[in-house]
Amino acid sequence: MTTTRTQADVMDDVQVKRSWKLPIVYTLAALLLAFFSFTAKGEVTIRLNDKSQAFEIPDIVLGGAGILWVLLALVALVAVWSIVTTSMRAKSPRWVQTLAMLLAGIATTLAFLIYAGTGSSGVVTLTSTLVSTVAISTPLIFGALSGVVSEHVGVVNIAIEGDLLVGAFAGVMAASFFQTPYAGLVAAPLAGALLGSLLALFSVRYGVDQIIVGVVLNVLALGLTTFFYGTLMKVSPETLNTNRFSLASLKIPFLAEIPIIGPMLFNQTVLVYLMYATVVFLAVFLYRSRWGLRLRACGEHPKAADTV
């Protein structure tokens, strides 16, 4: 007597692929925090106030080891959860995995700051550190977004570092020459796009290996910027290499007054706000639009794109 199996029965027999990468990472992070917790001695002063805020938040003075033990417990909990779910081949929802990664990452980063400030006369300026982190990471986020687009269309773009270098160089020169930071804001992406077009020209048009072209462009960008820095910018620093023209912070009312996250997210330059918009734009257009479908098809299934 034969029995028909339902699709649910078949799916029950399919085992989830096990990967021990995240459990190992979480375990190593927990061991590192355990070392911090055992060796930390003294108190730490945490400053949540930022100079841009209208109201003042008093400094918090606590025992550094106590905070580190709490952070260790959080990371250890995530590590145990990851080990158990991986060993049982249990499939967790995507939002649970994302939450676990964020919790472990934030706790580990905060532990580094607490450990560095414990027992010292300095102050852990948490809010100011987060503000600087967002500002400094903005160019890297733009570079990562360009890498996402390149990978989706099937191009291995390792010349992103060269694009950033050329863009930064052109931005400084344009802002100094025209005496306005917005000239640099226009010149920087144009210079980076010009270098990126060389990658497209040689790899797509002429079929040159993308890795080789990317390495050559990185070396070319480093050589050109070093040469012109020594021959142009150093010779005329007042007109081509001055730091008097930089983007000013644009403070969003009310939102910038939120403790910790307010100055970090809502008291930044226009470049950071453009980064927010670009992330949302690409997330929508890559996965929720016809343009994004065609773009991804070119890289993931070029034969299907050719057929269409």
- If you ran DSSP here, which 8-state letter would residue 268 be given? E
The pLDDT-based confidence of 1 (bands split at 50, 70, 90) is very low
Considering only residues 184 and 55, tell me which one the structure prediction assigns the higher pLDDT.
184
Considering only residues 8 and 79, tell me which one the structure prediction assigns the higher pLDDT.
79
Burial class (CB in 10 A: 0-12, 13-18, 19+), 61: exposed
Count CB neighbours of 243 within 10 A: 9
Residue 235 has which token pair?
A: 């010779």
Reduced to 3 states, what is the DSSP secondary structure of residue 118? coil
Residue 252 has which token pair?
A: 């969003």
Mean pLDDT, the chain, rounded, equals: 87
Left, alpha or beta for 126 (phi > 0: left; psi -120 to 50: alpha)? alpha
Question: Helical H runs in 94-209?
Answer: 94-117, 126-152, 160-178, 181-200
Q: How far apart are CA 99 and CA 116, in angstroms?
A: 26
Which of 137, 141, 144, 150 has its CA nearest to residue 196?
A: 150
Which of 149, 138, 170, 148 has its CA nearest to residue 273?
A: 138
pLDDT of residue 49: 81
For residue 303, pLDDT over 90 is answered with no
The pLDDT-based confidence of 276 (bands split at 50, 70, 90) is very high
Whether this model's pTM surpasses 0.95: no
pLDDT of residue 189: 93
Question: Helical H runs in 88-125?
Answer: 94-117
Per residue in 220-268, pLDDT (tens digit) is: 999 999 999 888 888 888 888 887 788 888 999 888 888 888 889 999 9
Whether 43 and 118 have beta carbons less than 8 Å apart is answered as: yes
For residue 2, pLDDT over 60 is answered with no
Per residue in 78-112, pLDDT (tens digit) is: 999 999 999 988 888 889 999 999 999 999 999 99
The answer to whether the Cα torsion of 140, 142, 143, 149 is positive or negative is positive
